[in-house]
Structure 1
């Protein structure tokens, strides 16, 4: 047969594995995306862009 003899078991293992992976990736994603390094880098880039623009005096 081309399919598994236990399709329900395979489905449960696949679903369980996905559940575990999703739960473990969330803290990693939060750590990487909200790391203070990125915040400081974004502020440095914003300041560099502001300094590069010519000042308009009124």
Structure 2
């Protein structure tokens, strides 16, 4: 075998990498999901939905 296997080092590296990824996912998720763009888009869609409902109820 050309190199030594180091299972403990590999396990520690794998675990450390997962800890880093798990600890960074929350701020990334918050940044992506709560951008002002999405807030404005959600508000615009809500207004369009309300306008369509009020238009439909008054013409019926």
Q: TM-score, normalised by structure 1?
A: 0.73
**For 2:5 and 2:47, how far apart are their aligned partners in 1?**
62
- Which structure 1 residue ranges, 4+ long, deviate > 3 Å from structure 2? none
Q: Root-mean-square deviation (CA), in Å?
A: 1.9
Q: TM-score, normalised by structure 2?
A: 0.71
- 1:18 corresponding residue in structure 2: 18
Count of aligned pairs between the two proteins = 54
Structure 1 unmatched runs, 5+ = none
RCO comparison, higher one (Cα < 8 Å, 6+): 1
| SS in structure 2 of the partner of residue 5 of structure 1 | coil
